[in-house]
Amino acid sequence: MAVAFNLSPAGLLGLAVVLGAAITVLVSGQARGSNDVADISAAADGPRAAEAPPFMKMLEVVPDPILVITGQDPDDLIDRRFIFANAAARDLFRITRDSGPLATAVRAPEVLEAVDEALFGKVTGEAVYQPGGAQDRVWRALAQPLPADGGDGRLALLFLRDETEVRRAERTRADFLANASHELRTPLASLAGFIETLRGHARQDEAARDKFLAIMQIQAERMRRLIEDLMSLSRIELNEHVPPLGRVDIGLAAIDVLDALGPIAAERCVSFKPSLPPRGVAVIAGDRDQILQVVQNLLENALKYSPTRGEVALDVRLDLDVAQAGAPRTPGAAYLSLLTPDHAAGLRYVALTVRDAGPGIAREHLPRLTERFYRVEGQKSGGERSGTGLGLAIVKHIMNRHRGGLMVESVEGAGAAFTAYFPVSPRIPVAVPGS
Ligand code: ADP
């Protein structure tokens, strides 16, 4: 029987009580010199072992490390012994036996202190355990006093929970807030500086005033874009697990965005080269506003990085399987899947590719493109329209909600191409990613 426990700290108490009976057997097993968990569990299960779940075997397969520890003398450090260690505990502490001196298994002083609190202070001890090493995992160790029947020894249960992912998520959130504030602080500081200058020595200088006001307008515009992007990212994240309900014609959505960006393209002397299917054939299940945003973010980037008189191609392809949709199409290009759909077997896809003839993106930057606030250093993007670094993060989240994929291709010095592909009918609910 495969049993997957997920014990809350509160649940520890319950486990502690249930463990009581088994512990009594364990301790007497120890007194008899038996170290065999199977023996002990058979004894603990008693005559009903055939029909009842074998208790110690259940503990053995709990995915969180669990140890049962005895101790008699608070002043004698070597008298702490573990009398049970499940498979996860043996794996974590690299021990081959399921009983022995505690110090041979656990060396972290803070964990040993927590155990002592449970053994001799009769309170729950808590510690953070970081074994180090390449995996860099973080564990929370909880030591709980256990009722010990008979004898003068004391008992404690040491339970560890892997908190690596939770902490990583916390750090990501904190980094995100720090980044967002930093990004907003820079234009704000610049605005405040210019206001001061205009009220001070530039007050009578008309030429300087015009110049400063123009810069201030750019900074204010930048702040507006940042706030808009942040708001839209948080809106998208909120409903990322809700599959979109509408029907969207990708070809028509592309035409709408091309029309809207026409004036900017003309201003930059960049021409669009669309290759779109007829109306009504590239229809997918989707959220129209979000799909417009995907096309707009990709086209805006292509425009931003295009040389003057450059060309931005946009094509939509139909009826592809997942491998075709996510395959590179530029010979010799560096390419990377930035998002690969799960459970894609059997689905057909519509793929939209935006291709420019700009500087491209060096291979080493490709994996980080969809990170929030990531911008390729030293890249010129037309000065005043410098980006927020959130555009591709937004695209990735929208594509995830649509159970689609995202792929980038790049030839340094010759251009970049981004392909967003959508399943024609996403049947499976969307999983929310960690990042
Ligand atoms: P931004 O708002 O800065 O454009 P994005 O998330 O859209 O943010 O893009 C992240 C970074 O990826 C950009 O800052 C740029 O360095 C790089 N990038 C995106 N699209 C292109 C492109 N078409 N050509 C070259 N570099 C690009």
Q: How does pLDDT run across 179-197, given as a tens digit for each residue?
A: 899 899 989 999 999 999 9
Give me the pLDDT at residue 98, please.
78
Q: Does the CB atom of residue 270 touch ligand 1 within 6 A?
A: no
pLDDT for residue 272: 98
CA-nearest residue, atom 23 of ligand 1:
302
Residue reference for tokens 């792929």 = 407
| pTM of this prediction exceeds 0.75 | no
* E-strand stretches of 123-237: 125-129, 139-146, 154-162
> How many Å apart are CA 89 and CA 97, to the nearest integer?
10
pLDDT digits (tens, 9 = 90+) for 106-156: 999 999 999 999 999 989 999 999 988 777 899 999 999 988 765 556 899
Q: Which of 25-39, 212-226, 374-388 has the highest mean pLDDT?
A: 212-226
Q: Is the CB of 392 under 6 A from ligand 1?
A: yes
374 lines ligand 1 (CB under 6 A): yes
Probe target for ligand 1 pocket from 369, 388, 412, with the most ligand atoms within 8 Å of CB: 369
Q: Which amino acid is at 36?
A: D
State pLDDT tens for residues 15-68: 544 455 455 545 554 444 444 444 444 444 444 445 555 777 888 999 999 999
373 pocket-lining for ligand 1 (C-beta < 6 Å): no
Q: How far is the CA of 216 from the centre of ligand 1 (A)?
A: 24
Q: State the pLDDT at residue 15.
A: 54
What percent of the chain is predicted at pLDDT more than 70?
Answer: 82
Between the CA of 155 and the centroid of ligand 1 the distance, in Å, is: 59
Closest atom of ligand 1 to 374 CA is 10
- What is the structure's pLDDT at 202? 84
- Helix, strand, coil percentages (3-state) for the chain, rounded to 5, are 45, 20, 35
361: Cβ below 6 Å to ligand 1? yes
Q: What angle do CA 405, 406, 410 make, to 5 degrees?
A: 150
Q: What is the pLDDT of residue 378?
A: 66
pLDDT of amino acid 122: 87
pLDDT at res. 128: 96
* Segment 164-173, tens digit of pLDDT: 999 988 988 8
Residue 345 confidence (pLDDT):
72
What is the mean predicted confidence (pLDDT) over 214-241?
Answer: 92
Encoded amino acid at 206, one letter? E
